[in-house]
Structure 1
Amino acid sequence: MRLQVLGPIRVWTGSDWVSVPGSRPRTLLALLTMGAGRPVTTAHMIAELWPAKPPTTAATLIRGYILQLRRALGGLAGETVLTRASGYELRCAADATDVARFDALTARGRAALAKGAAEEAHLLLTQALALWRGEPYSDALLTTAVSAEVSRLDERRLTATEARIEAGLLQGHGPELIQELQGLTGEHPLREGLWGQLMRALYAADRRADALESYRRARQVLVEELGLEPGPDLQELHHAILEGRSLPGPGASARPVAILSAGQEGPASASPPLELPRDVPAFTGRQKDLASLQRRMTGSDGPGAVVITGGGGMGKSALAIHLAHLLRNHFPGGCLYVDLQGSRETLKPLQPAEALGRMLRALGVAPSDVPTETAEAAARFRSLTTDRGMLVLLDNAVDGAQVAPLLPGERCGVVSTSRRSLTSLGHAVHHLNALSEQESLTMLGGLAGDDRVAAEPDAALRIVRYCEGLPLALRIVAARLTSRPRWPLRWLADKLENEQHRLDELQAEDLSLRSSFAVSLRDLEGDPSREDLTRLLCLLALSRHLHVTIPLAATVADTALDQTEELLDKLLDARLLDSPEPGRYHMPHLLRLFAEKQAVHHHISHKSEPAHQPRNALLAAMEQEDSALQLIPNC
């Protein structure tokens, strides 16, 4: 069987190309094609076709659509669409799809370009791009998975187009490529590689003024859209044209990437890896955070390294992923992403050796050549990434020891997210705070529907206040509201009003605010004073003081001042407390509710008062501390 998906879906039955009737059977074929060689579960198919509220007969309908698909395939059905225990599997040859042929031709073309065979590269890349007949999967439903695959394929098409144009420029065909490049820079104005190619093509056609004007327009777009100056390659090209000298070789933004594994003679991976998760839908606010982070990552000294830190549910990963998508064009060597699993209650944090193995394989190192020893794998990773201009996103790190071996070589950017500041790395640290009330309302509207928020503004305001500006909490309540499109917002606001069950309401499917807080508590397990830390956290929650000083905490826990200060600082480092200034601490209300439940679990009660101090004196000390704090602004 042969299959075309780079356009409307078509199947070669042996005598003719046929279209599968019905958008839903075509969509199932699309899902099976994307998962070729492994089963696609019925549950996944149902979630794709009916993301909001599947019918009770969904599984039966899936079987019917599969039957329609098999009928369309005729005699090929029995050996192609196989029934598995959990779903269905598409079995076909490795080169049966036009996507596989496109990838093979593109890899050969970029390999030829890497060794300077521009004519051969141009021929192969032209053949690869000729396989496209329009938008991939254009007659299937744009489900979540199909949309993600279409975006991925479109990016690969554009990358192949850039490589084909590069081959044409190297052959001296710059003047003939100007019109095409003008169209591409109009469609993709943030792609610096295309602007560089247009400038080179114009300069080759003796249109120096137009080449300089192209740089001016490129810089204007980048500054206005991203607040960023052009990268060093584009700036160097601009200077060369200004001075009327020979142009530098193709910049990093246009160079094909070739990575060698041990023992290989040719490129192991012809295309730069682009492993970022999809950008976060309805990303809201954080404009000041983004502007600050972009400046750090694209400074004049070269690519930066930054740690985004904040408490559980603060949206660190969402911000980092959104930032990485904005910075992609500044890192032409590609983007690597690893979830280090430091914020998953049900998963163990990833070991550095395993994370290095994943990144080395993404860079084209054969699995059998990946070193098993961490130090050796880290050295190989640094060697392969030095001067590559890559961006490495290390998400959900536990501590600096986990991250240190994963740092790339020179001229690569690094963004890490962690609840801890990872100060041992020496990277810039960006602390993330809760969303403002207006940002929270905007986010809730973007996820659950602006019309619903506008229809019940009071209920919406109550909901966001109960969520305390935590993006995770807002995503949870939005998910619950989305699954009940006809229910009023007042219903959920009333449920959240009950403090005893508020955390129970802030969970949906695999999202849970309680689990997010539990990870911070789990991170204390390796500390020798973990029992004292848990006890102090629970006692502070039970005491219900809005603000805590070191003397007040020492009174509550009946511990010495120096020991109390050390414990408070450790809770602060674990993001289980906030601190507006030295010596003052605060526990957010949602975290307080979590800690109160932990007190019950650990059999900790507030009645454990110091024996040498009468109860009236204890309360008097607490009240005196609270009274003093009320006189301090911004408490």
Structure 2
Amino acid sequence: MTNYCVLGTFRVINDGRDCTPGPPKLRQLLALLLICADHTVSLDDIVAELWDEAPPKTVVATVQTYVYQLRRLIERERLGAPGEELLTTNRAGYAFHVEPGALDAEVFRELSCQSRRDLETGRPGEAAAAAQRALDLWTGPAFAGVTTGGVLDTHAVFLDEQHQRTLELRIEADLRLGRHRELVGELRYLVARHPLDEWFHGRLIQALGGAGRRAEALQAYRDARRILNDELGVEPSRELQQLHLEVLTSDRRPLALAG
């Protein structure tokens, strides 16, 4: 089976062999086709991705040449089954077809959705496991090793946002499982990385409070308030203020989770 990796270093692996195309434009075109797998990518989007506002005069012929070279790669590396047409052409553009489970970005989305469903149906253990499997698919920034244009950059932003939402799902599931002490170090790191993200501040306060580290939880709230005041000129959200109040009135009990 061929595996296509876009969540980190861009790679095409077939039966353990690295079949990633070498020429930068081929890698860029293949990455675009893969992130839109099984959907048609228009010629306009391909041109915008590969050349932005300065396409060559022979742009249509050049794209056709790149597509031909990708088809040669598919055939040479036997990426598909005999007689299978992975890269198809239609009036609207080009589409690359992949088997279920072959593209890491698609597996990531499926696992993330499963994690959310598990959490919503009261199964935090399953939710945490599914979210962690999804996060483990990432080996670095999306499309690493590819020279990206505006279209791929937009997809990368979307993938990064999905990654953070999935990380939040896993943290919330772990909190519901009572893993407060285990989360403290990770949440301190995330607060340092995202100092203006109140969600991470709130989860750090919850983890410290649930671990019985009341003084540190109160300090975490003070730190969050100072950062928000200094950087944005605002007070903490109602949720953070409520968490602060719960820490003040708690007696080593885990703090209630806010949605």
Match among 203, 206, 217 for residue 212 of structure 2: 206
Q: Pairwise mapping of residues 616-631 of structure 1 onto structure 2 (< 5 A)?
A: none
| Amino acid in structure 2 at the alignment position of 1:213 | Q
**Partner of residue 104, structure 2:** 98
**Partner of residue 175, structure 2:** 169
TM-score, normalising length from structure 1? Answer: 0.38
**Partner of residue 237, structure 2:** 231
Deviation string 1:240-289 (CA, Å, 9 cap, x unpaired) is 1122354552112xxxxxxxxxxxxxxxxxxxxxxxxxxxxxxxxxxxxx
| Amino acid in structure 1 at the alignment position of 2:28 | T
**Partner of residue 40, structure 2:** 39
> Is the CA contact (8 Å cut-off) linking 1:234 and 1:251 kept in structure 2?
no
**Partner of residue 217, structure 1:** 223
Is 1:127 aligned with 2:168? no
SS in 2 for 1:88: strand
Deviation string 1:405-443 (CA, Å, 9 cap, x unpaired) is xxxxxxxxxxxxxxxxxxxxxxxxxxxxxxxxxxxxxxx
SS in 1 for 2:85: helix
SS in 1 for 2:94: strand
| Amino acid in structure 2 at the alignment position of 1:11 | V
Distance 1:248 1:201 in 2: 8
SS in 2 for 1:36: coil
| Amino acid in structure 2 at the alignment position of 1:179 | G
Deviation string 1:168-221 (CA, Å, 9 cap, x unpaired) is 222222112111111111111222111111111112232212211111221222
**Partner of residue 49, structure 1:** 50
| Amino acid in structure 1 at the alignment position of 2:55 | P
> Is the CA contact (8 Å cut-off) linking 2:128 and 2:170 kept in structure 1?
yes
Distance 1:142 1:225 in 2: 32
Q: Pairwise mapping of residues 318-337 of structure 1 onto structure 2 (< 5 A)?
A: none
SS in 2 for 1:12: strand
Tell me the CA shift for residue 145 of structure 1.
Answer: 1.2
SS in 2 for 1:63: helix
| Amino acid in structure 2 at the alignment position of 1:40 | V
Q: Pairwise mapping of residues 299-448 of structure 1 onto structure 2 (< 5 A)?
A: none
Tell me the CA shift for residue 130 of structure 1.
Answer: 0.9
Distance 1:102 1:151 in 2: 15
> Is the CA contact (8 Å cut-off) linking 2:196 and 2:228 kept in structure 1?
yes
> Is the CA contact (8 Å cut-off) linking 1:13 and 1:73 kept in structure 2?
no
> Is the CA contact (8 Å cut-off) linking 1:26 and 1:69 kept in structure 2?
no
Distance 2:218 2:21 in 1: 51
CA gap of 1:247–1:227, structure 2 versus 1, over 3 A, is: farther
> Is the CA contact (8 Å cut-off) linking 1:23 and 1:141 kept in structure 2?
yes
**Partner of residue 241, structure 1:** 247
SS in 2 for 1:82: strand
| Amino acid in structure 1 at the alignment position of 2:257 | P
Distance 2:119 2:162 in 1: 16
Distance 2:256 2:24 in 1: 48
Identity of aligned residues (%): 35
Deviation string 1:332-373 (CA, Å, 9 cap, x unpaired) is xxxxxxxxxxxxxxxxxxxxxxxxxxxxxxxxxxxxxxxxxx
Match among 246, 251, 273 for residue 258 of structure 2: 251
Distance 1:97 1:247 in 2: 39
Q: Pairwise mapping of residues 442-457 of structure 1 onto structure 2 (< 5 A)?
A: none
**Partner of residue 151, structure 2:** 145
**Partner of residue 594, structure 1:** none
- 15-24 or 205-214, which deviates more: 15-24
Report which of the two has the higher share of helix: 2
> Is the CA contact (8 Å cut-off) linking 1:241 and 1:247 kept in structure 2?
no
**Partner of residue 23, structure 2:** 22
Distance 2:86 2:247 in 1: 57
| Amino acid in structure 1 at the alignment position of 2:53 | A
Distance 2:187 2:174 in 1: 12
TM-score, normalising length from structure 2? Answer: 0.89
Distance 1:219 1:70 in 2: 56
Distance 2:226 2:148 in 1: 34
SS in 2 for 1:79: coil
Q: Pairwise mapping of residues 587-606 of structure 1 onto structure 2 (< 5 A)?
A: none
Bigger RCO of structures 1 and 2 (CA < 8 A, at least 6 apart): 2
> Is the CA contact (8 Å cut-off) linking 2:48 and 2:150 kept in structure 1?
no
**Partner of residue 110, structure 1:** 116
Tell me the CA shift for residue 223 of structure 1.
Answer: 2.6
Tell me the CA shift for residue 234 of structure 1.
Answer: 1.3
> Is the CA contact (8 Å cut-off) linking 1:42 and 1:87 kept in structure 2?
yes
Tell me the CA shift for residue 66 of structure 1.
Answer: 2.0
**Partner of residue 326, structure 1:** none
Deviation string 1:460-493 (CA, Å, 9 cap, x unpaired) is xxxxxxxxxxxxxxxxxxxxxxxxxxxxxxxxxx
Distance 2:254 2:100 in 1: 42
| Amino acid in structure 2 at the alignment position of 1:233 | E
> Is the CA contact (8 Å cut-off) linking 1:11 and 1:73 kept in structure 2?
no
CA gap of 1:27–1:223, structure 2 versus 1, over 3 A, is: same
Distance 2:68 2:171 in 1: 45
Is 1:83 aligned with 2:83? no
Distance 1:228 1:166 in 2: 26
Distance 1:145 1:242 in 2: 49
Deviation string 1:273-312 (CA, Å, 9 cap, x unpaired) is xxxxxxxxxxxxxxxxxxxxxxxxxxxxxxxxxxxxxxxx
Q: What stretches of structure 1 of length at least 5 have no aligned partner?
A: 253-635
SS in 2 for 1:11: strand
- Mark the structure with the bigger radius of gyration: 1
Q: What stretches of structure 2 of length at least 5 have no aligned partner?
A: none
